[in-house]
Amino acid sequence: MSTVKFYDREFSSRLLIGTALYPSPKIMQDAIRASESQIVTVSLRRESAGGRTGDAFWSLIRELDVTVLPNTAGCKTVREAVTTAKLARELFGTPWVKLEVIADNDTLQPDVVGLVEAATILIKDGFEVFPYCTDDLGVAMRLVDAGCKVVMPWAAPIGSAKGITNRDGLRLLRDRLPDITLVVDAGLGAPSHAAHALELGYDAVLLNTAIAKADDPVAMANAFRLGVEAGRTAFEAGLMDARDFASPSTPVVGTPFWHVVS
Q: What is the pLDDT of residue 262?
A: 57
155 Cβ contact list (under 8 Å, min separation 6): 162, 163, 164, 165, 170, 184, 185, 186, 187, 188, 193, 197
User: Do residues 103 and 110 lie in contact, with contact meaning Cβ atoms separated by under 8 Å?
Assistant: yes
157 within 8 A of 127, measured Cβ to Cβ: no
pLDDT digits (tens, 9 = 90+) for 46-71: 455 445 556 677 788 888 889 999 99
Tell me, what's the pLDDT at 120? 98
Contact between 213 and 21 (Cβ < 8 Å): yes
Query: Catalytic one among 5, 26, 86, 98?
Result: 98
**Sign of the dihedral through C-alpha 38, 183, 229, 163:** positive
Helix pair angle (217-237, 191-199), 10° resolution: 20
Between the two ends of the chain, the Cα-to-Cα distance in Å is 60
> Does position 167 have pLDDT exceeding 90, yes or no?
yes
Q: What percentage of the chain carries pLDDT values higher than 70?
A: 89
For the ranges 27-31, 208-212, 246-250, 253-257, the lowest mean pLDDT is seen at: 253-257
Contact in structure between 21 and 252 (CB atoms under 8 Å): no
Determine contact, residues 89/62, Cβ cutoff 8 Å. Answer: no
**How many beta carbons lie within 10 A of that of residue 107, not counting itself?**
13
Which distant-in-sequence residues (6+ apart) come within 8 Å of 223 by Cβ?
191
Q: What is the 3-state secondary structure (H, E, C) of 75-89?
A: CCCHHHHHHHHHHHH
* 258: Cα separation from own chain's centroid: 56
Is the pLDDT confidence value at 249 over 60?
A: yes
**5 is annotated as an active-site residue:** no
Residue 245 pLDDT: 72
Residue 260 has pLDDT above 70, yes or no: no
Q: How far is 136 from 118, CA to CA, in rounded Å?
A: 17
Whole-prediction pTM value?
0.88
Q: 171-185, 199-213, 239-253: lowest mean pLDDT where?
A: 239-253
Q: Are 183 and 206 contacting, i.e. CB atoms less than 8 angstroms apart? A: yes
Each residue of 74-132: pLDDT tens digit? 899 999 999 999 999 998 899 999 999 999 887 888 999 999 999 999 999 999 999 99
